[in-house]
Amino acid sequence: MPRILFMAGHRWPDYATVLPRALEEAGVAAEVSPDLAPDAVDYIVYGPAGDPAASDFSVFPRLRAVLSLWAGVETIVANPSLTVPLTRMVDPGLTAGMVEYVTGHVLRHHLGMDAHIVNPEHHWANRAPPLASERPVAVLGLGALGAACATALVSLGFPVRGWSRTLRDVPGVACHHGPEGLEAALGGARIAVLLLPLTPGTENVMDARRLARLAPGAVLLNPGRGPLVDDTALLAALDSGALGHATLDTFRTEPLPREHPFWSHPKVTVTPHIASETRPATASRAIAENIARAEAGQPLLHLVDPERGY
């Protein structure tokens, strides 16, 4: 019987019932616990609250795979003690939450809602916003989350350009890839959404030059990872008026330090890394499916490529 270490003890109460049930439904007879002797562990469900870089996987002699609870794996993928396959989380609940966050914040800016929600001078600004079809949106990253968000934005009528490392085919989306493709995806976009993983190839992808590719007064949404954006260049673009607003969910340091200029900048909205979250019920089914596959000798789904970093 395989033994699964749930290495995210702070989240165990959310999974204590649903994960064993999902394993049973997937036909896997397994013991799952947040507390197992290292030499008994076959699989790890991974999402520690503390410093992930501190994890030492070499103490698990039987370990066959590590299944990340999170979609982003930048803190574990380069861990030198990790010598078994690593999977990242692809969870319908996580995806649904991200689609809600991205469409909600895109519509907030598209409709200019702020001017009506906070209107202390009771200004009668009766100018209707443009149609979505007049506001091009760039979605950087067309993976599980980016493709779903791009598809939702297409269904609302936005002209959507997407960008990925390899060429993707997302119906209704003008797909670009590679370094030259980024220039085309960003050129004249009025909203940009970052849903890239953090890797050496994506860090600071939104630097001063790329920010300047966007339309004057454009809006940046970053639910991806903080270091995707050059913060100094972002603040300069907001201050000069080149950018109209930034809605940021992820930051180089989290929690965002109290004195950080983003908190008080009038053109920045800070959300505290809540764009979306792995949902225990649906994530448990994803974990159970992968363990069933491993037990049956089938290839794991959503494998991380250490070379690519995601």
**Residues carrying an active site annotation:** 225, 273
- Among residues 165, 190, 279, 285, which is the contact residue for ligand NDP, using CB under 6 A? 165
Buried b vs exposed e over 219-241: b needs ≥16 C-beta within 10 Å?
A: bbbbbbbbbbbbbebbbebbeee
CB of 168 to ligand NDP, least distance (A): 5
Say if residues 41 and 63 touch (Cβ distance below 8 Å). Answer: yes
d(CA 85, CA 76): 12
Residues within window 243-282 making contact with ligand NDP, judged by CB under 6 A: 249-250, 273, 275-276
The yes or no reply on residue 47 touching ligand NDP (CB under 6 A) is no
CB of 127 to ligand NDP, least distance (A): 33
Query: For ligand NDP, which is the closer residue by CB, 60 or 247?
Result: 247
| DSSP category for residue 170 | -
- Among residues 199, 247, 282, 284, which is the contact residue for ligand NDP, using CB under 6 A? 199
The yes or no reply on residue 201 touching ligand NDP (CB under 6 A) is yes
CB of 215 to ligand NDP, least distance (A): 21
Buried b vs exposed e over 6-37: b needs ≥16 C-beta within 10 Å?
A: bbbeebbebbeebbbebbeebebebebebebe
Residues in the chain: 310
The yes or no reply on residue 3 touching ligand NDP (CB under 6 A) is no
Select from 75-83, 136-144, 151-159, 212-220 the region that touches ligand NDP (CB under 6 A): 136-144
The yes or no reply on residue 138 touching ligand NDP (CB under 6 A) is no
The yes or no reply on residue 196 touching ligand NDP (CB under 6 A) is yes
Buried b vs exposed e over 66-98: b needs ≥16 C-beta within 10 Å?
A: bbbbbbbbbbbbebeebeebbbbbbbebbbebb
- Name the one residue in this structure whose structure tokens are 């929600």: 117
* Beta bridge partners of residue 258, listed in sequence order: none
d(CA 305, CA 310): 6
Say if residues 73 and 304 touch (Cβ distance below 8 Å). Answer: yes
Residues within window 140-159 making contact with ligand NDP, judged by CB under 6 A: 141-146
First to last CA, the chain: 30
Residues within window 208-247 making contact with ligand NDP, judged by CB under 6 A: 223-225
CB of 238 to ligand NDP, least distance (A): 20
Query: For ligand NDP, which is the closer residue by CB, 132 or 196?
Result: 196
- Among residues 8, 45, 71, 243, which is the contact residue for ligand NDP, using CB under 6 A? 71
Interacting residues with ligand NDP (CB under 6 A): 71-72, 94, 141-146, 163-166, 168, 195-199, 201-202, 223-225, 249-250, 273, 275-276, 310
